[in-house]
């Protein structure tokens, strides 16, 4: 009788930390501590005013009320935090800012390099019934500096309506946020081979290289956040045929004895099989596909010196972004993925448009690189439908956040349970936020000191330590060891947006996702009261994480 020996791996023992609850004292955040402190002060005043015993009884009742409100945490948030979220939501509803209706007044609002408001007569990138009318490239002046031209403002809900779109040399989109002073570039990403088809050793190699890529991107000065997304969507048979024809053109060509040049693919190999395949492709209306993108957000403040050296203003920012895009593009292939292109204003607008209106995905996919006009990227109508659902152009969206990563050791590629959760439209977005090493170590030291102080207080009042608290302390120790060993300090946040046409379909799709998450030992949490922010973070390629 033979037995299977476990394969030793360098990833053995690697675990994700629990949800943070260090807080200021006893796991309570600053707002909780302040709220309870107010209750204590009021209790003391009641005793001083009313005396004993009625003042004391009233003070005890007051402390019970304040403690009952200030201490509990529900789904990772305090009651005070939930109250703040819902108050903001209700305030937006009363003012009407929660609803977005597309306006078509023919006037675009932009900003100069100095932050002054300017009126742009119309969009620079205009789409007609046929192909897109655009110049060959973004021009440069006599000193070889970029001439950005007038931007196009994206008509999107809320604060995202301030995003301005420029075109970089080479055709890539440069999305500038004049309020936050950040810029976003979005790359289309492909993988050379499915991760699950690799052997265990190959998976380890790819994971090792991916860790290296993460560290490289995180250490690039100026990178504020990176969004990696996989979106399951539907495309038309025409798009698949277009891809198939492109592969035929890329196939090697040979010269026959008759001097004729033929390609080793398509009709030159087997015309009957080729025709049958084309007919089969065109007979299928919808095909589920996985679109992957990477959004890189750069901070203008952190890159100020380089931007000034490149000429300053938006032009200098664009020049700096171009060089950083090349660095990122060269770093990724070692992990088994590669950048196929940087999205142009039109293709980025197309991706945005189909996120708000999934029914337009087939029509938009047939346009290929022509995409959608920038000013048409937003929805015709969008608003939170209820506390956990966002509605846009007839589609319903619900967004989850991974609250707890696997408590035990996670298997390699465990997120595929969410990526391949089912044949319904959903987007899995992983956010990587680089942290300064010195600040990360300082924060770790502060959290460990807080735990130490809390333990002393617990000992004095006779409160027992729990296994959960001990695990969180171990997480802090492990974090310090990893950062000290040279690993890049990164904060990982994953959000998943599920889309459907009806409430029944949405609930069914969400149930499928939650089942797959349980299989992967993940704890998902619905973003209650943050339906719009969750949709923007989960389904749109702008690297906007406001949850």
Q: Can you name the residues that pair with 352 across neighbouring β-strands?
A: none
Are 161 and 251 contained in the same domain?
Answer: no
Residue 300 lies in a domain: yes
Residue 480 lies in a domain: no
Angle, CA 131 vertex, CA 145 and CA 291 arms, to 5°: 80
Report, as an integer, the average pLDDT of 480-505: 84
* Cβ contact 406:521 at 8 Å: yes
Angle, CA 517 vertex, CA 229 and CA 188 arms, to 5°: 10
Range in 242-256, 399-413, 473-487 the model is least confident about: 473-487
pLDDT at 198 over 90: no
Position 24 confidence tier, pLDDT thresholds 50, 70, 90: low
Distance CA(462)–CA(541), nearest Å, equals 51
Residue 161 lies in a domain: yes
Are 385 and 526 contained in the same domain?
Answer: yes
Range in 54-68, 98-112, 212-226 the model is least confident about: 98-112
Are 133 and 195 contained in the same domain?
Answer: yes
Distance CA(414)–CA(102), nearest Å, equals 40
Would you state the pLDDT for residue 231?
92
Q: E-assigned strands of 149-236?
A: 152-153, 164-167, 173-177, 182-191, 223-235
Tell me which residue range forms the domain holding 248. Answer: 237-284
Are 278 and 307 contained in the same domain?
Answer: no
Are 404 and 298 contained in the same domain?
Answer: yes
Would you state the pLDDT for residue 397?
96
pLDDT at 501 over 60: yes
Report, as an integer, the average pLDDT of 123-130: 36
Are 383 and 371 contained in the same domain?
Answer: yes
Residue 496 lies in a domain: yes
Range in 67-71, 119-123, 273-277, 293-297 the model is least confident about: 119-123
Residue 2 lies in a domain: no
Are 406 and 324 contained in the same domain?
Answer: yes
Structure confidence by residue, pLDDT tens digits, 27-42: 677 777 788 888 888 8
User: Where is pLDDT greater, at 309 or 101?
Assistant: 309
* Cβ contact 183:298 at 8 Å: yes
Residue 232 lies in a domain: yes
Token pair in block for residue 165: 């779109």
Would you state the pLDDT for residue 133?
39
Q: What phi, psi does 442 have (nearest 5°)?
A: -65, -40
CB-based contacts of 27, cutoff 8 Å, min separation 6: 21, 73, 454
Comparing C-alpha atoms, which of 364, 439, 399, 333 is closest to residue 536?
399
Distance CA(116)–CA(114), nearest Å, equals 6
pLDDT at 259 over 80: no
Are 114 and 247 contained in the same domain?
Answer: no
Residue 448 lies in a domain: no
Are 421 and 509 contained in the same domain?
Answer: yes
For residue 28, give Cα distances in angstroms to 40, 60, 63, 220: 16, 21, 16, 35
Alpha helices by DSSP H, listed for 112-158, are none
Number of domains observed in the structure of the chain = 3
Are 267 and 199 contained in the same domain?
Answer: no
Report, as an integer, the average pLDDT of 164-188: 91
Are 319 and 424 contained in the same domain?
Answer: yes
Would you state the pLDDT for residue 129?
33
Are 380 and 514 contained in the same domain?
Answer: yes
Would you state the pLDDT for residue 390?
94
pLDDT at 293 over 90: yes
User: Where is pLDDT greater, at 108 or 527?
Assistant: 527
pLDDT at 303 over 70: yes
């Amino acid at each position: 009788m033979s037995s299977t020996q476990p394969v030793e791996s360098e990833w053995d023992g690697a675990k994700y930390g629990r949800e943070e609850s260090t807080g200021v004292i006893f796991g309570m955040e600053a707002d909780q501590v302040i709220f309870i402190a107010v209750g204590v002060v009021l209790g003391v005043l009641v005793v001083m005013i009313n005396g004993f015993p009625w003042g004391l009884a009233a003070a005890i009742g007051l402390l019970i009320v304040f403690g009952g409100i200030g201490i509990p945490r529900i789904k990772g948030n305090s009651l005070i935090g939930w109250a703040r979220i819902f108050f903001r939501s209700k305030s937006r509803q009363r003012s009407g800012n929660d609803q977005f209706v597309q306006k078509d007044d023919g006037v675009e609002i932009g900003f100069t390099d100095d932050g002054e408001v300017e009126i742009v007569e119309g969009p620079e990138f205009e789409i007609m019934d046929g192909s897109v009318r655009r110049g060959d490239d973004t021009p440069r002046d006599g000193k070889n500096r970029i001439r950005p031209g007038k931007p196009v403002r994206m008509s999107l809900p809320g604060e995202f309506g301030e995003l301005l779109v420029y075109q970089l040399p080479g055709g890539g989109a440069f999305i500038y946020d004049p309020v936050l002073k950040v810029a976003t570039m979005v790359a289309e990403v492909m993988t050379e081979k499915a991760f699950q088809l690799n052997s265990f050793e190959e998976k380890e190699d790819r994971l090792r290289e991916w860790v290296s890529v993460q560290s490289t991107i995180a250490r690039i000065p100026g990178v504020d956040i990176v969004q990696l997304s996989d979106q399951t969507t539907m495309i038309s048979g025409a798009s698949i045929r277009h891809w198939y024809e492109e592969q035929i053109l890329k196939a090697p060509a040979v010269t026959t004895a008759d001097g004729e040049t033929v390609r080793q693919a398509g009709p030159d190999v087997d015309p009957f099989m080729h025709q049958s395949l084309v007919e089969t492709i065109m007979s299928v209306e919808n095909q589920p596909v996985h679109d992957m993108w990477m959004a890189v957000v750069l901070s203008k403040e952190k890159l100020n010196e380089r931007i000034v050296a490149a000429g300053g203003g938006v032009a200098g920012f664009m020049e700096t972004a171009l060089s950083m895009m090349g660095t990122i593009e060269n770093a990724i292939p070692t992990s088994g993925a590669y950048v196929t292109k940087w999205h142009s204003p039109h293709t980025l607008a197309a991706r945005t448009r189909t996120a708000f209106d999934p029914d337009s995905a087939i029509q938009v996919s047939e346009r290929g690189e022509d995409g959608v006009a920038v000013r048409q990227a937003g929805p015709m109508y969008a608003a939170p439908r209820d506390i956990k659902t966002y509605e846009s152009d007839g589609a319903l969206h619900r967004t989850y956040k991974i609250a707890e990563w696997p408590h035990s050791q996670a298997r390699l590629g465990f997120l595929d349970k969410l990526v391949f959760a089912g044949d319904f439209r959903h987007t899995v977005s992983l956010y990587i936020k680089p942290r300064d090493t010195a600040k990360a170590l300082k924060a770790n030291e502060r959290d460990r000191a807080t735990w130490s102080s809390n333990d002393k207080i617990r000992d004095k009042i006779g409160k027992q330590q729990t296994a959960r608290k001990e695990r969180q302390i171990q997480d802090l120790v492990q974090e310090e060891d990893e950062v000290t060993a040279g690993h890049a300090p990164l904060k990982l946040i994953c959000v998943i947006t599920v889309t459907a046409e009806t409430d029944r379909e949405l609930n069914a799709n969400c149930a499928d996702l939650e089942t797959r998450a349980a299989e992967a030992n993940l704890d998902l949490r619905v973003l209650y009261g943050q339906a719009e922010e969750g949709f923007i973070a989960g389904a749109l390629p702008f690297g906007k994480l406001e949850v």
